[in-house]
Structure 1
Amino acid sequence: MTPLLKAVSAIGIALVSLLGSVAALDNGVARLPFLGYNTWYAYQCNIDQDLVLTTAKLMKSLGLLDVGYNYINIDDCYAEKNRSESGDIIPDQVRFPDIKSMTDEIHDMGFKTGIYSDSGWYTCAGYPGSFMNELRDATTFQDWGFDLLKYDNCAIPYDDIIRQGMVGKFQRMADALATLAQTSGKPPLVFSLCQWGWNQVWIWGKNFGHSWRITNDLAPEWDVLAPIINVNSFISQFSDFWGHNDMDILQLGNGNLTFDESKSHFTAWALLKSPLLISTNMSAITSEVLEILKNTEILAINQDPVIGQSISPFRWGINADWTSNGSFPAQYWSGPSENGTVFMLLNTLNEPSEMFFNLTESPWIRAGRQYSVRDLWTHTDNGTAVRNFTAHDVPAHGVVALLLKDAGDEPTGLEFPCAVWIQCMDQNGTLVEG
């Protein structure tokens, strides 16, 4: 075994060990990725109570609540810059004059609500953070009627004050949320960690969060989406029920993504079991973006009640397997679902491409069987695949999403005994070569 293979093997053993020792948080909320709306990328600090309520009404009238987008989350900048004399966070008295009535009205529409805070002294926009006020703030957020807390990572206290690492910094709020649930008798707030960057949050975040950001902020550009997909190709196994790699808020409807890039963006986020949060001006949303967001066949995979795990690569494609390439991430992905095996074929090239694979390259496909093919974007049944599949003319940065269901034994009389010739052997011990 070469030194490189030994290193890869050691990494694999370490990952298996970690997976065996880390359990996802199961406290009765957010078993599946949450879906909804977040104000940040659409409006940043330019938010107020009327805007949030108008957005919620639009989400409902456009049918997004009906297909599962049931959270309306406000992000940073909703508060006064200073706490009250008693130490409480105060909503901005002009922009959010009655925040409890706002959450009540949103709940009456059928939504849940989310709010934002920070694990440091201040939020990223300079408003009061929750360090050393964790239980006080958690209680305030619950009293205001919120169901979810996004918790950010700015304004970190000095080392001789905090005296703990990133895990402990978020553990403080996790403990406060658990204490609040016990004392109030209400369901715990969903805890969404925003510990961005390469800090192995996908390993430790499962101890107390329902989702955890895995990269820095997203922008609506293919050159930003591709590296995030690349990161996920190595950590997809950490997503399951109760805990999810958060690839950041969807950027559909913002920037200059093509229609095909937008489909790839949504497909990857959904099938990798990321939370799906919209952040665009809902009064100006296009029919093309709505068509993508309301793809119920893709959403059904994200919200699968039986299978919690994400899809993962079975072949990288233009790169050797296990190659990290932020510009050209893995192209061939698959995973189990309640209703069959899901495939994502991602054309990372800058030109249209033909994409071919043998079915049994995916660990979820049985040899000697044929499979019916459902296209999750055209919403059509496309015949039966035997041994292999080819997607023709996949657009540049485009995607093909398929659901394959077992359709019985493959036809008899096929020319070759094995679809893949690795260790294909006759009963008498003779290797059969293609």
Structure 2
Amino acid sequence: MPSSFKTLGTAVGILSAASSVRALQNGVGKLPVMGYNAWNAFACNVNETLVLQTAQYMKNYGLLDVGYNHVNLDDCWASKNRTSTGEVLSDPIRFPSMNNLTAQLHSMGFYAGIYSDSGWFTCQGYPGSFMHEEQDALTFQSWGFDFLKWVADILPVPFDDVIREGMVGKYQRMTDALAMVAKQTGTTFTFSLCEWGWSQVWLWGASMAHSWRIDNDIGPYWSSIATIINAASFVTQATDFYGRNDPDILEIGNGDFTYDEAKTHFTAWALMKAPLLISTNLATISQEMLSILKNTEIIAINQDPAYGTSVSPFRWGINPDWTFNSSFPAQFWSGPSENGTVFMLINTLDEPTDMFFNLTESPWIRAGREYSVRDLWTHTNNGTVTRNYTATDVPPHGVVALLFQDAGDEPAGLWPLCAGEAATQCTAENGTTYY
């Protein structure tokens, strides 16, 4: 692949260190992947022509220009049977030449992704890669793919007396295979894990992959988005450069999302530093939904080169802190960025509401300072604030995304001398306490 192409985006190198496999932290794969995955839009009704048409839409709509540089296949690309020597084959009608497909995607400026399963079969009954991991990894490399989505489906898992491994071992088999391919050919893959069980995967996913799923499959409706945001709120510490929680693909343009719900969906995924993989029919997507996907100020936070960490809740809001509630997840989030402190406020209610917080509730804000406010959705500078902020009339299931930048000392003469959470502990040198 020419060096000029490599400057376009992210790939992840998987290398072996003795018997373990880990992501190589050399700047490759540092940031979340952005691109397209066909599954939620087309499921098994996919072919080479449709994939290339979708890639062309991504170029025409400017999605490639703002960073969406992966086009990934999901299930159903394969023939139902392997060859007599065990090679997996692409469907001869729908995907007559994988090398031609990847070559055309590369020539358009995209990375190319493929999907496989850790069991006997994929979710849709096509050949899985169990006991063919190295063989399949070499095949994917020879076809020119750069990205691998690796799934542990429930149904095709081999019997215990066959696999003799736990959940981590099923993934380790392919990470070892990718390490072997990297050593033999110099080719690297982005490796994305998909395992349903958010409470466990984040504990070990970073040791072997670019990203790992944290919850069940996403659906094109608000309750699914709220459920995933709730799950993510308890594991934000797992995300950083080279490895991140994956809340599943983007449903922007699918289902019956309102505009505000779609904005919340995109904002949460982006600011949690998740992979941003569009999964909608780009032939029919509205300009309104495209404008959400192309918000470069939100994308800039997702692709921040200085901070790889997710935003995290500093207050749950209508629920006590640390409440697990799939319908009403945490509402007040913040995190550091290259250019200031990012705030995400989510109205989980079914009616508009005002959302108030004290600035120093966020650990990234300094007391006694004034902050300028940038609205990342209206793209406006909204003056300065001290001590607290109120977002007014936030729409139902809507979001506010703000960037606060230090603007110097707060104005003199403010009273009380201390405000917010620390007020009852604010004491002069002579011992006088101020409230």
> Please, what TM-score do these two structures have when normalized by structure 1?
0.93
User: 1:260 — aligned with what?
Assistant: 260
Alignment length, in residue pairs?
Answer: 410
* Structure 2 CA distance for aligned equivalents of residues 293 and 403 of structure 1: 19
State the Cα deviation string for residues 337-358 of structure 1 (Å, max 9, x = none).
0000000000011110000001
- 1:24·1:242 contact (CA, 8 Å) conserved in 2? no
User: 1:48 — aligned with what?
Assistant: 47
* Structure 1 CA distance for aligned equivalents of residues 384 and 265 of structure 2: 27
Unpaired stretches in structure 1, ≥5 consecutive residues: 1-22
User: 1:95 — aligned with what?
Assistant: 94
Q: Secondary structure at the match of 1:283?
A: coil
Q: Secondary structure at the match of 2:427?
A: coil
* Structure 2 CA distance for aligned equivalents of residues 212 and 26 of structure 1: 16
- Kindly report which structure 2 residues correspond to 1:34-183, keeping only aligned pairs within 5 A, or say none: 34-154=33-153, 155-183=156-184
Residue type at the aligned position of 2:398: G
* Structure 2 CA distance for aligned equivalents of residues 106 and 422 of structure 1: 61
* Structure 1 CA distance for aligned equivalents of residues 224 and 429 of structure 2: 51
- 2:272·2:302 contact (CA, 8 Å) conserved in 1? yes
Residue type at the aligned position of 1:370: E
State the Cα deviation string for residues 274-297 of structure 1 (Å, max 9, x = none).
101001111111001110000000
- Shift of residue 131 of structure 1? 0.6
* Structure 1 CA distance for aligned equivalents of residues 240 and 22 of structure 2: 8
- Shift of residue 199 of structure 1? 4.8
Residue type at the aligned position of 1:431: T
Q: Secondary structure at the match of 2:234?
A: helix
* Structure 2 CA distance for aligned equivalents of residues 199 and 317 of structure 1: 23
Unpaired stretches in structure 2, ≥5 consecutive residues: 1-20
Over aligned residue pairs, what C-alpha RMSD do you find? 1.1
Distance 1:432 1:169, change over 3 A: same
Residue type at the aligned position of 1:56: A
State the Cα deviation string for residues 342-390 of structure 1 (Å, max 9, x = none).
0000001111000000101000001110000000000000000111100
Distance 1:30 1:422, change over 3 A: farther
* Structure 2 CA distance for aligned equivalents of residues 362 and 204 of structure 1: 28
- 2:198·2:213 contact (CA, 8 Å) conserved in 1? no
Residue type at the aligned position of 2:334: S
Equivalent of 1:425, from 421, 424, 427? 427
- 2:240·2:308 contact (CA, 8 Å) conserved in 1? yes
- Shift of residue 26 of structure 1? 2.7
Larger mean CA deviation between 234-243 and 177-186 belongs to: 177-186
Q: Secondary structure at the match of 1:385?
A: strand
- 1:24·1:241 contact (CA, 8 Å) conserved in 2? no
* Structure 2 CA distance for aligned equivalents of residues 198 and 145 of structure 1: 31
* Structure 2 CA distance for aligned equivalents of residues 406 and 25 of structure 1: 35
- Shift of residue 227 of structure 1? 1.1
User: 1:328 — aligned with what?
Assistant: 328
User: 1:201 — aligned with what?
Assistant: 201
Aligned sequence identity (%): 63
* Structure 1 CA distance for aligned equivalents of residues 255 and 22 of structure 2: 35
* Structure 2 CA distance for aligned equivalents of residues 124 and 49 of structure 1: 21
> Please, what TM-score do these two structures have when normalized by structure 2?
0.93
- Shift of residue 423 of structure 1? 1.6
* Structure 2 CA distance for aligned equivalents of residues 275 and 153 of structure 1: 19
* Structure 2 CA distance for aligned equivalents of residues 24 and 222 of structure 1: 35
Distance 1:408 1:24, change over 3 A: farther
User: 2:239 — aligned with what?
Assistant: 239
- Shift of residue 115 of structure 1? 0.3
Distance 1:84 1:199, change over 3 A: farther
Residue type at the aligned position of 1:271: L
* Structure 2 CA distance for aligned equivalents of residues 198 and 97 of structure 1: 37
User: 2:217 — aligned with what?
Assistant: 217
- Shift of residue 429 of structure 1? 2.4
- 2:335·2:364 contact (CA, 8 Å) conserved in 1? yes
- Shift of residue 196 of structure 1? 1.6
- Shift of residue 24 of structure 1? 7.4
* Structure 2 CA distance for aligned equivalents of residues 422 and 200 of structure 1: 40
Q: Secondary structure at the match of 1:391?
A: strand
